[in-house]
Structures are given as C-alpha cells and as structure tokens.
Amino acid sequence: MADEVVLLNEKETNSGRITAEPSGEDPQQQTAGDGDSESDSGEGCEARSLAEKAFLRKDEATASDGLREGLADGKEKALQQGFDSGFKQGFQLVENISIWRGFVQGLSTSIKKLDSGQEEKKQLYALYGKLLEFEQKVINSEAPLEEIRGQMEQVKKDIKTVLNTLGMAHLLDTMTDL
C-alpha cells in the first residue's frame, strides 16, 4: 500500500473538483509519459500544476474558515461568560433588595397598629419606595450595580435609624447576613 501512488483524475481537475484515485502505476513512468508525444507530458504537467494550485487555494480557504469559526466561537463563549456573570450579580442584588423590601413592608404593617410613630411610618414607606425603585433599576439595567449597592447601604442605615427610634433595633439581628 505504501508503494501505491495517488494520481489526480484529470477530468475532475479541469472541472474544478479535486479527487484522488489510487493507481498501481509508477509515478516516474506517468510523469515521463511513454515518450510517444510531447503534448501528453505537457498536458499532464499543466493539469498537475492546476490541481496543486486548486489544492493550495482550498487549503488556504479551509484555514481561513477555521480561523473565522474559531474567532466566532471564542467571542460567543466570552460573551456568554460575561452575560452569566452579570446575570448572577444582578440576580443576587435584586434578591437582596426584595428581602429588604419585604422586611420594610412587614415593619410598616406592624407599625400601622401602633398609635405612635407616624413619622417613622412615613419614613418606612419612603424607604420601601426607594427599595422598589432600586429593584426596577436593576431589572431594567438603568444604573450600574455598584451605584445601586452603594445606595442600598444608605437605605439600610436609614432603616436602622427608624428601628432605633421605634425601639425595634433588635429586629435587625435577623437581617445581618444581608
């Protein structure tokens, strides 16, 4: 099998397709021809040259296509990783905001039953509104996450102040992890 030579099919070479057929003939005999006609060896060399050029063009095109596909795949993977990371960060922030919003709403409901603390009720409603606004900003990508995180810290301090005023600071112990 190692002595077999692969020769190009001349008819397919001229049509633009390159195929190879094994042949039992010696390649030196083929290139030299049978010596009867000079035109036979000239046509064979020309066909071989055309086939080699076509092969090189296809080889270069394959390499270019491979490079393009590789770049596209790399960009897609990087884009997906960025999306996944951003989604995770945004989700965690929205989850945190929602928990605080639920906490503030629960406080507001509890304080409604008290006769005192009207000012604190108003403050809690305002803080609830801010939390709702932050949640929407994250969901709609209207502000950078770091900016909203900073604003969240201020709202948490304001909630703590209201709870201290009402004598309910102990309720913050449940929220320390957030």
pLDDT string in tens for the chain (178-residue length): 444 444 444 444 444 555 554 444 444 444 444 444 444 566 778 888 888 998 889 988 888 888 889 889 888 998 899 889 888 999 999 999 999 999 999 888 888 777 777 888 889 999 999 999 999 999 998 999 999 999 999 999 999 999 898 888 888 888 776 6
Distance CA(56)–CA(52), nearest Å, equals 6
CA distances from 134 to 73, 94, 143, 147 (A): 35, 8, 9, 10
C-alpha angle 109-115-116 in degrees, rounded to nearest 5: 95
pLDDT of residue 127: 94
C-alpha angle 146-177-165 in degrees, rounded to nearest 5: 90
pLDDT of residue 35: 47
Which of 109, 104, 106 is closest to 124 using CA atoms?
A: 104
